Amino acid sequence: MAETASSPLKVWLDRDGALLRLRLDRPKANICDAAMIGALRAGPAAHRATPGLRGVLLDAEGPHFSFGASVEEHLAERCAGMLASLHALILALAGCRVPVLVAVRGQCLGGGLEIALAGGPIFAAPNAQFGQPEIKLGVFAPAASCLLPWRVSAVAAEDLLCSGRSVGAPQALAIGLVQTLADDPEAAALAWFDEHLAPRSAAALACAVAAARAPRVRELRERLAEVESLYLDRLMVTRDANEGLAAFLAKRAPRWEHC
């Protein structure tokens, strides 16, 4: 494995080099902070030229996939850099030349769900929970605002984005957020890879992925720029956005003034 003792991510090649494995490795929360985002960007980049690569599997150590992004990095003085880095990762995953499979156990929230949404099929354990709780902190989820409509209906996307509620794996399957439920989602993802991707030509897969995703990736690049501007220029100048983040860090209820 390519990770070091202090790395938040395990990276290794599996299936004789046909499958790149990425595992979030800071349980139990697996917070998607600057270090995790940087490692997730570097991991696939280091193996981009691997001959015969036919897939990526992203999963997580511990009982939960991820509790989401670092709230401290959402504060006004740091959020511009955080968003730029996260959105670059989202684009890299969405534009990956091979299918990106995602296996989820436990909580998959906030920035963690945004990262999962940028990949391909999601294999979920029956106990998995999916949500974008950012609205509860007085902010919103920029990348998920772009990515959720790729997966679910506009109504379902707005429900998750505006309510901040979480849905369990069976409901996530019903609305199309996840593709497969399995007691062992990593094993299910590996079995799917072995059956559907391992026998294929890597060259053909790269072209198939580009053909399927290129238009959406172009749209995603434009939409991320729009929502990033909305977040930084309109949201983060409001009193409530800063109050919500401060209240979360202080472990108290927010006091909204609706401005």
All domains of the chain in start order, with CATH: 1-185+203-259 (3.90.226.10)
Segment (H or E) for 13: strand 9-14
Give the burial class of 209: count Cβ atoms within 10 A of its Cβ; 0-12 exposed, 13-18 middle, 19 or more buried. Answer: middle
Query: What mean pLDDT do residues 210-221 have?
Result: 95
Query: Which pLDDT score, from 0 to 100, does residue 5 have?
Result: 52
Residues 6+ apart with CB under 8 A from 229: none
CA dist 249 and 72 (Å) reads 8
Task: Point out the least confidently predicted range of 1-5, 25-29, 118-122.
Answer: 1-5
Mean pLDDT across the stretch 214-232? Answer: 96
pTM, to two decimals: 0.96
Q: Contact at 8 Å (CB) between 12 and 4? A: no
Taking 80 as the threshold, does the pLDDT of residue 4 lie above it? no
pLDDT digits (tens, 9 = 90+) for 179-206: 999 999 999 999 999 999 999 999 999 9
Query: For residue 13, with 0-12 CB atoms within 10 Å meaning exposed, 13-18 middle and 19 or more buried, which class applies?
Result: middle
Give the pLDDT band of residue 209 (cuts 50, 70, 90): very high
Please, which pLDDT band fits residue 1 given cuts at 50, 70 and 90?
low
Distances in Å between the alpha carbon of 218 and those of 30, 159, 214, 223?
A: 29, 25, 6, 9
Evaluate if residue 42 carries a pLDDT over 60: yes
**253 SS3 class:** coil
Q: Are 257 and 249 in contact (CB under 8 A)?
A: no
In this prediction, residue 160 has a pLDDT band, given cuts at 50, 70 and 90, of very high
Model confidence at 164, pLDDT cuts 50, 70, 90, reads very high
- pLDDT the model gives residue 82: 94
**Residue-level pLDDT at 45:** 86
From CA 245, how far away is CA 240, in angstroms rounded? 9
Summarize the confidence of residues 131-152 as an average pLDDT.
Answer: 97
Q: Which residues pair with 229 in a beta bridge?
A: none
Per-residue pLDDT tens over the stretch 43-59? 888 888 889 999 999 99
Are the beta carbons of 106 and 124 closer than 8 angstroms? no
Q: Does residue 221 surpass a pLDDT of 80?
A: yes
Mean pLDDT confidence for 155-174: 98
pLDDT of 245 above 80: yes
pLDDT tens per residue across span 74-103: 999 999 999 999 999 999 999 999 999 999
